Amino acid sequence: MTPFLLFLLMFLFLFMSFSMTSSTQLMLSLDEEAHALLQSGWWSGYPDYVPPDHCEWLGITCNGYGSIMEISMPPKFQLRDKFVKFNFSAFPNLVRLQLVGHGLIDNIPSDQISTLHKLTYLDLSFNEMKGSIPEGIWSLKKLETLNLGRNKIVSSIPCSLVHLTNLVSLSLDSNLISGSIPVEIGYLKSLEQLNLSDNKLRGSIPSNIGLLTNLKSLSLGSNQISGSIPLELRNLSKLEHLFLGDNNITGEIPSFISHLTNLISLDLSSNMIYGCLFSELNQLTQLEYLNLSSNQLSGEVPLEIGTLSRLKVLDLSGNLFHGKIPSQLGSMSNLRLLNLSHNELTGTIPNQIQNNFLSYSPPHEFFRNRNLLTDKMSVPSTDASSLSSSTSTKSKTEIITLNMEIFIPVISLFGIVLLGYLVFKIWEANINRDSRKEKHGDLFNIWNYDGRIAFKDVIKATESFDNKYCIGSGKFGSVYKARLPNGRIVALKKLHSFEAEEPEFVKSFKNEVKLLSKIRHRNIVKLHGFCYHKPCMFLVYEYVKRGSLFNLLRDDSRAMQLDWSKRISIIEGIAHALSYIHHDCSPPIVHRDITTSNILLDQEMKASVSDFGIARLLNPNSSNQTVLAGTFGYVAPEYAYTTTLSEKGDVYSFGVVALETIMGRHPTEIISLILSRTLLSSNTPIIMIKDVLDSRLSPPNGNHILASNIVLVATIALACLCSEPKSRPTMMNVCRWLLLPRTPLLRHPFHSISLQQLFNQEIYKIDDYKR
């Protein structure tokens, strides 16, 4: 045997021995992992989720060799005190550990968790863990995401965090952490998200944070931080979200803020910041949320703010601003909330704001400005007050003395002629009215409309309500498209004749229409008035071109035009409309029949709510009774056993419509699971949000902001579907949640989020949502 063959045989022998040893070690390691899972007791009580292969257990993901690399338990597994029973050292290949909302009450086992050297993702948020942050975590040098938010962790932030140089996201919010922010935090150069809000942190903001040049979101709100905003923050050129509100920060707003041109959200509210606002704020062209309320800011409101076209929320309340309100604020088409109350503003509210914006901001958003005239603002249920008090004073030298002997006879003669003319016109009007009654019956005016509509014009425009002009029908009547003699196109809702023959009904109906016709809101279809001709009665609405949301969602080609951004905008519009009629009208109006059929879309896909108040119109004496209220599939469950009507019924219907909008179909199965209280049952399969979204659109996996918006909307919708009315939010709170800024970096990959998590509010805690 040659030396070469001998060497080759020895090499093969050693290789086979090594392979067998490695294979044996791998098998032992896999057996140890499976044994550790069984011993943990985490799956006890859930026999359906423990098949023979441990890689197929619910919440377990293995690599190609069968070794566990991810543990992500569903929320229905309430682990409580079982955390310390888990043998973490048995999982050397674990990369991701996610235990969110499991009621964990044990301290984090420092010695064991430090053995997870390959761990890159650790999320233990929304639990009840106490004690301090264990030192073992700071040895996990590959960690990229660390989330211990919403627990009961005490002590301070250790300097040892400097070892986590690969950290991209650090969230320690909503705990009991005290002390100061360590300067060593500036060495985490990869950090993109830092959330330390809602703790008991003291001291100033360390200047070293300015070294985090990759930072996109900085949340330090709701602490006891003092001092001024450090100049070094000017280096955070990638910053998109800055939340420093509810602290003790002093000084002026630094001018470098205007150079952070990627800012989307800026919250400096509830501090002790003083000085003037600088006009360079108009450089923040991406800004959507600006909250500077409850400070000591003074000077005039810069008119340059009106150029921030993306701005949705502007809150400058509780300051010392003086001067006039810039009219430019009225041209901000995306603005949804404007609060200028509790300042020292003077003058009047510009017409641009009154016409374009007060439909979103109730009058109280301008109160407590001592010299600001707000008289032109009136609650929709009352007649608009005319403020034409044009009193002019003249000096005595300007008074012309008239010859009374000539003046009195002339005035008397003029009065006699005028009186005779009026008597003649009244007589003529009575004759014409009687003849019209014989021909057309009673005819009422169309309020807030240019001219009068005669019944014969309507008959002519619709060819006696021919079906070819019918564009829809519902429980209250059919809708017809009509072109009036002046060329204006309107929608006529021909109502079913209930008590239309009763004079008292006609009188009350007229009063109700007068009430509803005064409502003006950009997301409510304008009611111009009505026309009554025995036995026909119809309402006159503005015509909305694209038709109902229901029809668009059921047409594949048109549904594709409703991308995710448009659908979110539609849901926001519906919420604002309902909040308006619930909270800003006096008396409040309950819609009673919110469905996708009653949501109309214009050319720009802006949503408008129609048919508001019709149930009340057809039964005006049933202000709190469920007469003709609701459509099957949208009506609140309590209407099956009670006659008490409240705004919470509309809230429930809104939840259905919101889910239907993002799902593209009615959420029948989800509603059934919620009402039967089985959504969180161990027998109910986990439902991923990605699987229920409208499949005709691409999932928003790559767009973090869009994914965050969808998750928030779904969370709010599920909260609105609570079977107990008192547990549902108000529409005012829904609007506030939709307007609050949120970081685009979801704590979980979009594809891994379930409806059960959203129902438990594990992603967004909307009940006490704050940043």
Summarize the annotated binding site for ATP as residue ranges. 493
SS3 annotation, 98-113: ECCCCCCCCCCCHHHH
Contact of 171 with 147, CB cutoff 8 Å: yes
**Rounded Cα–Cα distance for residues 512 and 531 (Å):** 13
> What are 425's two structure tokens?
């016109």
Segments of 434-484 assigned E as strands: 470-473, 477-483
**Rounded Cα–Cα distance for residues 457 and 482 (Å):** 10
Which residues is 346 bridged to in the sheet?
371
Q: Which is catalytic among the residues 173, 246, 584, 593? A: 593
β-pairing, 527-533 with 536-542? Answer: antiparallel
Q: What is the secondary structure of 651-687 as a DSSP string?
A: HHHHHHHHHHHHHSS--HHHHHHHHTT-TT-TTSPP-
What are the backbone dihedrals phi and psi of residue 628, each rounded to the nearest 5 degrees, phi first? 55, 30
Nearest to 133 by CA among 145, 120, 148, 123: 148
Contact of 595 with 551, CB cutoff 8 Å: no
Length of the chain: 771
Q: What is the secondary structure of 553-584 as a DSSP string?
A: HT-HHHHTTS-HHHHHHHHHHHHHHHHHHHHS
Contact of 113 with 137, CB cutoff 8 Å: yes
Identify the three-state secondary structure at position 479.
Answer: strand
Nearest to 67 by CA among 94, 96, 38: 94
Enclosing H/E stretch for 273? strand 272-276
β-pairing, 320-323 with 296-300? Answer: parallel
Query: Which DSSP letter does residue 523 get?
Result: T
**Cα 93–751–689 angle (5° rounding)?**
140
Identify the three-state secondary structure at position 712.
Answer: helix
Instruction: Please indicate whether residue 593 is annotated as part of the active site.
Output: yes
Segments of 442-545 assigned E as strands: 470-473, 477-483, 489-495, 527-533, 536-542
Question: What CA–CA distances, in Å, run from 325 to 60, 126, 318, 374, 668?
Answer: 58, 43, 15, 12, 48
What are the backbone dihedrals phi and psi of residue 46, each rounded to the nearest 5 degrees, phi first? -130, 65
Residue with tokens 């603002």: 377
**Rounded Cα–Cα distance for residues 376 and 265 (Å):** 32
Contact of 230 with 249, CB cutoff 8 Å: no
| Amino acid at the residue 629 | A
For the chain, what percentages of helix, strand and coil (3-state, to nearest 5) are there? 35, 15, 45
Residue with tokens 């229905």: 76
Residue with tokens 């040892």: 160
Contact of 214 with 190, CB cutoff 8 Å: yes
Nearest to 735 by CA among 589, 498, 572, 624: 572
**Rounded Cα–Cα distance for residues 677 and 666 (Å):** 19
- The b-or-e profile of 441-471 (16+ CB within 10 A means b, else e) is ebbbebeebeeebbbebbeebbeebeeebee
Nearest to 690 by CA among 755, 629, 646: 755
Identify the three-state secondary structure at position 702.
Answer: coil
> What are 411's two structure tokens?
């005035």
Enclosing H/E stretch for 21? helix 3-40
Contact of 137 with 114, CB cutoff 8 Å: yes
| Binding annotation | 493
Which residues are tagged catalytic?
593
